[in-house]
Structure 1
Amino acid sequence: MTTVLAPVTGVAVRLGAVPDPVFSEGLVGPGMAIEPDRASGTAVAPIAGTIVKLHPHAFVVVGDDGRGVLVHLGIDTVQLRGEGFEPLAVEGDRVSAGQPVVAWDPAGVEASGRHPICPVVALDAAAGTVSGLVAGAVTAGDDLFEWDDPA
């Protein structure tokens, strides 16, 4: 079992609350989303592993077991071309769970007309393997959900 941590501080909500069908309909995979606090902050690694993809607005960490978790900082934030985001790591870095990966400004994302909600997705997860999805206040580094081994 893999424990996936909250990458940002805010309120955890179901993926269905994300205003983008790619996430809300689970097309990328199951998981949760976080409506972030608007203060500037840092997104942390949701699991220990290697950063295999890093954009200013999104990153993927793959654990030693091959499981990958996507963190997407806001919706349509690729259009900002990095403005309001500062990567604190590079692709290929090994990170521990809870280690800072990207500094960002959720209020700036919102001011740009984009939604700052943060999907946290278990990539390629088998049906029924994500559990413990609890909505409510979370702090970056808190447990967000469990990714169980397939039966």
Structure 2
Amino acid sequence: MTTVTSPVSGRAVGLPAVPDPVFAGAMVGPGTAVDPVREPLEALAPVDGTVVSLHPHAFVVVDDEGRGVLIHLGIDTVQLNGEGFELLVAKGAAVRRGQPLVRWNPAAVEAAGKSPVCPVIALEATADALGELVEAGEVEAGGRLFVWS
């Protein structure tokens, strides 16, 4: 069982509220989303593991059981070409849950006309594999979003 924690502080909104049909329809995988506070943030690792994919706007951490968790920092933020994002680790890095991976500013993302909502996706999982899913209410960075069994 893997506990997946929030990369940012904000308000849990659930995937259906993500303004992107691919995430909202859980086509990438099940999970939830967080509408982050509008201040400069460090996005945190959601699990202990290895960074297998790393872009300024998104990263994937795979845990020791081979479970990959995708964090997408905002919607359509790939179009910002890395502007406003600072990588704090390298691809292949071993990381601990709660470790800062990317520094960014959700307010700047919003000012650029993009949604700062952050999907947190259990890759290659089924919806029934996720328990204790948080889809509403305030969440703290490092707080539990779901348990993957």
TM-score, normalised via structure 2 length: 0.98
Question: Residue 137 of structure 2 aligns with which residue?
Answer: 136
Aligned counterpart, 2:33:
33
Give distance in 2, aligned partners of 1:57 and 1:5: 18
Show the counterpart of 1:81: 81
The CA distance in 1 between the partners of 2:12 and 2:35, in whole Å, is 6
Partner of 2:64: 64
- Matched residue count: 148
Gaps of at least 5 residues in structure 1 are none
The C-alpha deviation readout for 1:115-147, integer Å capped at 9, x for no partner, is: 000000000002400111122111111111111
Q: Secondary structure at the match of 2:103?
A: strand
Which residue identity is paired with 1:20? D
Q: What is residue 147 of structure 2 aligned with on the other side?
A: 146
Aligned-partner Cα distance in 2 for 1:17–1:117: 9
SS in 2 for 1:141: coil
1:115 alignment counterpart: 115
* In 1, Cα distance between equivalents of 2:47 and 2:13: 19
1:86-132 deviations in whole A, cap 9, x for unaligned? Answer: 00001000000110000001000000000000000000002400111
Amino acid paired to 2:128: G
Give the stretch that moved more between structures: 50-59 or 127-136. Answer: 127-136
For 1:129, the aligned partner's letter is A
1:116 is paired with a residue whose SS is coil
State the identity %. Answer: 61
Secondary structure at 1:101's aligned position in 2?
A: strand
1:125 matches 2:136: no
State the one-letter code of the partner of 2:143: D
Distance 2:127 2:22 in 1: 17
CA distance in 2, matches of 1:23, 1:88: 25
Aligned counterparts, 1:18-57, within 5 A: 18-57=18-57
**Unmatched runs of 5 consecutive residues or more in structure 2:** none
2:100 is the counterpart of 1:100: yes
C-alpha distance in 2 between matches for 1:40 and 1:68: 26
